């Protein structure tokens, strides 16, 4: 393997230094309202993540869902403490 290829491979990896952005996973709680429009968001899991622009493959998938903005996040495996679901909301705590 060429030395420049080794440098490119190692820079693509996620480590503690690249996980700098705080993200919060929230889930809709039980509905107690009269009109039945959903409950409040309950915080389920908070961690640091590596947030970056989505790939072209992700953008084509998002394009069919009418999504205007997207981001890709990487987090550490929470094991049994939290298992994300499709209807969970992710709040990225970053002013940008």
Q: Using one digit for the tens of pLDDT, what is the confidence trace for 22-71?
A: 999 999 888 877 777 777 899 999 999 998 888 888 888 888 777 778 88
- Please classify residue 73 by burial: count the beta carbons closer than 10 Å to its beta carbon, then call 0-12 exposed, 13-18 middle and 19+ buried: middle
Residue 69 has phi, psi (to 5 degrees) of -125, 150
Cα distance between residue 63 and residue 69, in whole Å:
10
What is residue 11's predicted lDDT score, i.e. its pLDDT? 57
pLDDT given at position 60: 84
- pTM (whole model) above 0.85: no
Element (H, E) at 60: helix 56-63
> What is the band of 1 on the pLDDT scale with cuts at 50, 70, 90?
low
Distance, CA of 13 to CA of 19 (rounded, Å): 11
Residue 72 tokens, joined: 């890709």
* pLDDT score, position 37: 74
Break the chain into its structural domains and give their ranges. 16-28+41-93
């Amino acid at each position: 393997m060429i030395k420049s290829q080794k440098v490119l491979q190692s820079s693509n990896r996620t480590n503690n230094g690249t996980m700098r952005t705080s993200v919060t996973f929230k889930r809709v709680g039980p509905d107690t309202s009269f009109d039945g429009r959903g409950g409040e968001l309950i915080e389920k899991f908070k961690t640091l993540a590596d947030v970056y622009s989505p790939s072209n493959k992700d953008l084509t998938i998002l394009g069919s869902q009418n999504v205007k903005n997207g981001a890709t996040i990487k987090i550490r495996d929470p094991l049994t403490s939290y298992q994300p679901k499709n209807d969970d909301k992710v709040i990225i705590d970053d002013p940008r």
